[in-house]
Structure 1
Amino acid sequence: MVEREKLLAGVQQRPFDVIVVGAGINGAGVARDAAMRGLRVLMLDKGDIASGTTQWATRLIHGGLRYLEHYEVPLVRESLKDREILLHIAPHLVKPLKFVVPIYERSSRGPRMIRLGMIAYDTLSYDKSVPNHKMLSREEALREYPGLNPDGLLGAATYYDAQVEYAERIAVENAVSAVENGATVLTYAEVTRLLFEGNGSRVVGVEFRDRLSEDGAVYSAHAPVTVNVAGPWVDRVLGGSGSVSVETSENGGSDSGRMIGGTKGSHIVVDPFPGAPKNAIYVEARKDGRPYFIVPWNGLYLIGTTDFRYRGDLDYVKATEDEIQYLIDETNFVVPEANLSRDSVLFTYSGVRPLPFAPEGSEGSISRSHVVYDHAKGKSAAGGRIKVHGGGSPRAEGLLSIVGGKLTTYRNLGRQTTNVVYKKLGVKPPKSATDRIPLPGGKTPDLSEFSEEFRQRSGLADVLSRRLVRLYGARAYDVLAEAGDDDSLKEPLTDDLRESTALLGCEVLYAFRREQAQKLADVLLRRTMVSYGPHVALDVDEAAARVCVEHLGWSEERARREVEEYREWIERYTPKAFREGVAAG
């Protein structure tokens, strides 16, 4: 914590060009782009990197096939272009994924409509490295995907998008790269208010509270431009300014002044099941016609998502039993052999999309595009054509807010936002390089060759070497180096030797020393990713805390407290492991 104290003390004296509020994928993308172009960047978040919306995504890097029916052609093209870029700059994290779209008599879109959509999708992704779509007859579909419900099946279409199994690590690597390019990143630093000058006409910085200090010490930081990229919490950041009242229904008020009107999306995670597809299924739900996914993921299956208006607590979002049953029922209908039950669900997760507030219209029709909103002008300075409600209060120079956006297009959002920041500073922006320079783990000419070399030279069992390359890519050697001469740190902390569960002690140290982790939960949920294994890390949390006691100087009291905090937090995932007593004692 000594290094953190130095950072906090220095922030008040150091001049910054831009303050980024929010360290989700979009905030981290803005921070990386701005730092790589030479700006002095401070990024703050009230939690950890990627601890909000980013960690609750469906984990797809996709063009948004269904956006075509809402005529969002520019968004689809932008997404498909960024999909291809991510396949190259983060090959360890982003990989091609084949999808099948079964077409039923009950489907709102018949074979002709699906075929036209697929042709348009291929046309818009003219620079792609993945195969084109293919239409399948009923017989071909059942032969290739025998688990599909044959009742009323007319045929199917297959196409390719991409998957990022660990969306959190994309954000972490963006933040790490930002720091390596000179940015200052402070997590658990909650912005409590915007700082104004000139009778409230200009934002000149922020005041924030250190959530890791016992006394909640308050600090201030100054910059000519502040970017509010807090996702679903955008309105809360604006409301904390003291100069504007942003009442939301979340707090029992009206929708007056509201910019964000997020919808809730929930997922369930299950073990492989009878009839499970070898590729991803993209299908319409019977009950409401909403498209959802059944995706092979992390050695398990990820099923989701729902899409409902959300008015509850943004800091505690949990899948309801109705949502869970909805996803179970729909899966059992599409794959009759699955026979899933509530007991089949290993865990769930749920989050709120940072979509623009829309008083009317269905949830699925709300645009997934984004705008960089300039509060001085009261309108968008970059991005798509989204109507921003609530007047974009407060009307002040030096303040930008990001409304909307999605995981796939974070890099382009970062580029556009940094361009606007430079314009605000009155300086011509250098060209962005985030489309060419790989993320830290992607810096290898050939990931396959690197993976084989690491397997041979690391001295690890194959499952462990695969795990490290899959998570850390080209930095797998750096992770292993944290073990030093202590071979025990190269041993799994669990008896379950799967890639998703076999946490090494050296990974824990790497997370704290090299990847901005501050808490045990940060390590388990958003660095080593073992929280998304079948046991949600309840089989390794105590062992990981023990590593911190022995190698980072934690007290026994801190270790106990951090384990308790993690277990309390993970309850919202309704983990089956709790019921089975994995965390007993």
Structure 2
Amino acid sequence: MFSAKNRNVLLAQLNKGEYDVVIIGGGITGAGIALDASARGLKVALIEMQDFASGTSGRSTKLIHGGLRYLKQLELKLVAEVGKERAIVQHNAPHLTRPEAMILPIVKNGSLNKFTARIAMWVYEFIASVKKEEWHKVLSKEQTILAEPLLKKEGLLGGILFYEYRTDDARLTIEVLKEAVSLGATAINYIKATSFVYSNNKIKGVKCHDKINDREFTITAKYLINAGGPWVDAIDDLDEKQMKHKLHVTKGVHLVVDHKKLPVKQSAYFDTYDKRMMFVIPRDGKTYMGTTDTFYSGDLTAPDVLKEDRDYILKCVNEFFPAVKLTASDVESGWAGLRPLVNKPGKGPSEISRKDEIFETPSGLIIIAGGKLTGYRKMAQRIVDLISTKMKPLGKHVQECTTHHISLSGGKLPSHVTFKDFAKTKIAEGSDYGLTAKEAEVLLYRFGTNIDILYSIINSTKSTYNSQLPLVVYAQLMYCVEYELCMTPSDFFIRRTGFLYFDISTMKQWSEAVVTHMQKTLGWSEELKTLYEKELGTALEEAERIKI
């Protein structure tokens, strides 16, 4: 019931009585709240003015952080929470959380020496309950060079090997939403909140604009949640009794190059010349790097990667990996994401806490701001616990949070089967459907246990299939349209598959065929087809403009 073909059916559901909770914002925070609330038996609706995960939740460093970076700010409680949450996310969505060995070079005059780095690691591993097999290792200079030969040798004293978890942030958001929908939530993209409905000076609903059908409607609710990420203040401004703006928005930029241009053996996390930290991460034949951290006040919908952002990252990477000599022309793609940080006057972008905070307006709007991808589940729990407290005097009993035990869509393994064994079986099975081992592996780590549905699509289609579009791409497209409310080509190439970032050549090659299939499947007019083609072209131009 999360099919693009049935979007009008989903819209009709929004008019069927009052909801317990309506969430504005379809990023990871809103998705997490939808899952938690629906799992507790509440009637839930979620609206998103763009596509799901089109803001911060699709433009992060794509890591499930354990919280190491927050030790610098002495946020021990945050370190403990996200460390434990990382393990829960890995258990509930094993296809989207792959352990990633990272090397932290220790250099002369760096922010850490071997002693302080070890102390930091010990504190971090204890507080964050890091698994023993993922405890850090101290490397000599020679061992560090062996682990990553491209590192600058001058001033290198040694290294620390530790683990983060690599993820696909947009797909994690989608999987959380799919699980919420399976538990009864209604979630729809391309619905913009335009104003609030009041009764006795309290918000009791939201007026909406459907951007696809160009029509207005109203959803009524007991409680409205503003989970708009960078748009929190803009949504708050719709309220007659809005509060003072709560956010400092900062921008983080990442660049993508072919792995042959930056052929690192493993991920690295290193000091920059201006005492920030930067990641270099190999992924699917590419290497991506970042991030910047600067205050931002421009267009929230389409933040640009500026020349100075690009040059800063290239300078930092070239200093630490001097043999590669990256230039702007090597950049294939990239993205700029916005961090919605709670306003702390007088602090710089990297000094502001990443903790989430909850606010309530006099009219009853509940707002959640700040937070990190890893901590989405606890953020959701705090919001739904608050709603539960409010409903108790009204005679409504809301059960305790259970999301720590809920496997997400794509993570539902058969009993007594490890994901490692499941992966081995399904990758081997791919050859039965004409797939290479690499193609099957991509499907597995993108769609998890839902891979059987994609195999079924391939099996039922291959005997009569006559399109130029590769069958493995077609299967993904049909799955995303049918099961993930994929409405546009941009939804498919950016948020559902990440082709724009990590396989831009495939996107260029097959964009026309994908548009043609989607038009046929969803019954677009020529006008709508042209609009979506233009939107996709703009996304491609923005990615490629980074190198100019």
The TM-score with structure 1 as length reference comes to 0.87
The total of aligned residue pairs comes to: 535
Give RMSD over aligned pairs. 2.2
Letter paired with 1:100: I
Report the CA distance between 1:44 and its aligned residue: 0.5
1:249 corresponds to which residue? Answer: none
Percent identity among equivalent residues? Answer: 29
Q: Secondary structure at the match of 2:346?
A: coil
Q: Residue 481 in 1 paired to residue 483 in 2?
A: no
2:346 corresponds to which residue? Answer: 360
Residues 333, 500 of structure 2: 8 Å contact kept? no
Decide which of 52, 65, 68 is 1:65's aligned counterpart: 68
1:547 corresponds to which residue? Answer: 517
Residues 538, 567 of structure 1: 8 Å contact kept? no
1:582 corresponds to which residue? Answer: none
Taking the aligned partners of 1:523 and 1:503, their CA distance within structure 2 comes to 14
Residues 241, 362 of structure 2: 8 Å contact kept? no
Decide which of 268, 272, 277 is 1:281's aligned counterpart: 268
Residues 82, 128 of structure 2: 8 Å contact kept? no
1:436 corresponds to which residue? Answer: 405
Decide which of 405, 424, 427 is 1:452's aligned counterpart: 424
- Per the alignment, do residues 151 and 138 of structure 1 end up closer, same or farther by CA in structure 2, a change over 3 Å counting? same
Letter paired with 2:259: P
Report the CA distance between 1:492 and its aligned residue: 9.4
Q: Residue 227 in 1 paired to residue 225 in 2?
A: yes
Taking the aligned partners of 1:327 and 1:492, their CA distance within structure 2 comes to 41
Residues 19, 41 of structure 1: 8 Å contact kept? yes
Report the CA distance between 1:569 and its aligned residue: 2.9
- Decide which structure has greater helix share: 2
Taking the aligned partners of 1:525 and 1:539, their CA distance within structure 2 comes to 15
- Per the alignment, do residues 491 and 344 of structure 1 end up closer, same or farther by CA in structure 2, a change over 3 Å counting? farther
Residues 410, 448 of structure 2: 8 Å contact kept? yes
Taking the aligned partners of 1:492 and 1:420, their CA distance within structure 2 comes to 52
Letter paired with 1:300: K
2:253 corresponds to which residue? Answer: 266
Q: Larger relative CO (CA 8 A, sep 6+): 1 or 2? A: 2
Decide which of 99, 114, 118 is 2:117's aligned counterpart: 114
Taking the aligned partners of 1:20 and 1:367, their CA distance within structure 2 comes to 24
Q: Secondary structure at the match of 1:440?
A: coil
2:205 corresponds to which residue? Answer: 205
1:40 corresponds to which residue? Answer: 43
Report the CA distance between 1:504 and its aligned residue: 1.7
Q: Residue 176 in 1 paired to residue 178 in 2?
A: yes
Pairing of 1:455-474 with structure 2 (within 5 A): 455-458=427-430, 459-461=433-435, 462-474=437-449
Report the CA distance between 1:410 and its aligned residue: 0.7
Residues 103, 110 of structure 1: 8 Å contact kept? yes
Report the CA distance between 1:11 and its aligned residue: 1.4
Report the CA distance between 1:488 and its aligned residue: 7.0
Taking the aligned partners of 1:480 and 1:490, their CA distance within structure 2 comes to 14
Structure 1: runs of 5+ lacking an equivalent:
247-256, 376-393, 496-501, 580-585
Q: Deviations along 1:436-469, whole A, 9 cap, x unmatched?
A: 2211101113223323333344423222221211
Report the CA distance between 1:127 and its aligned residue: 5.1
- Per the alignment, do residues 2 and 348 of structure 1 end up closer, same or farther by CA in structure 2, a change over 3 Å counting? closer
- Per the alignment, do residues 192 and 125 of structure 1 end up closer, same or farther by CA in structure 2, a change over 3 Å counting? same
Q: Deviations along 1:80-101, whole A, 9 cap, x unmatched?
A: 1011111111111111111111
Residues 492, 504 of structure 1: 8 Å contact kept? no
Q: Deviations along 1:458-481, whole A, 9 cap, x unmatched?
A: 423222221211111100111233
Q: Secondary structure at the match of 1:319?
A: coil
Taking the aligned partners of 1:567 and 1:365, their CA distance within structure 2 comes to 37
Report the CA distance between 1:490 and its aligned residue: 7.7
Report the CA distance between 1:428 and its aligned residue: 4.1
Letter paired with 1:477: D
Report the CA distance between 1:139 and its aligned residue: 2.2
Pairing of 1:246-261 with structure 2 (within 5 A): 257-261=244-248
Taking the aligned partners of 1:452 and 1:552, their CA distance within structure 2 comes to 35
Residues 503, 530 of structure 1: 8 Å contact kept? no
Residues 264, 309 of structure 1: 8 Å contact kept? yes
Q: Residue 573 in 1 paired to residue 543 in 2?
A: yes
Q: Residue 344 in 1 paired to residue 330 in 2?
A: yes
Taking the aligned partners of 1:406 and 1:488, their CA distance within structure 2 comes to 46
Report the CA distance between 1:129 and its aligned residue: 5.8
Decide which of 290, 293, 302 is 1:307's aligned counterpart: 293
Structure 2: runs of 5+ lacking an equivalent:
none
Deviates more, 1:302-311 or 1:486-495: 486-495
- Per the alignment, do residues 488 and 269 of structure 1 end up closer, same or farther by CA in structure 2, a change over 3 Å counting? farther
- Per the alignment, do residues 113 and 457 of structure 1 end up closer, same or farther by CA in structure 2, a change over 3 Å counting? closer
Decide which of 150, 161, 166 is 1:163's aligned counterpart: 166
The TM-score with structure 2 as length reference comes to 0.93
Deviates more, 1:189-198 or 1:20-29: 189-198
Residues 280, 294 of structure 1: 8 Å contact kept? yes
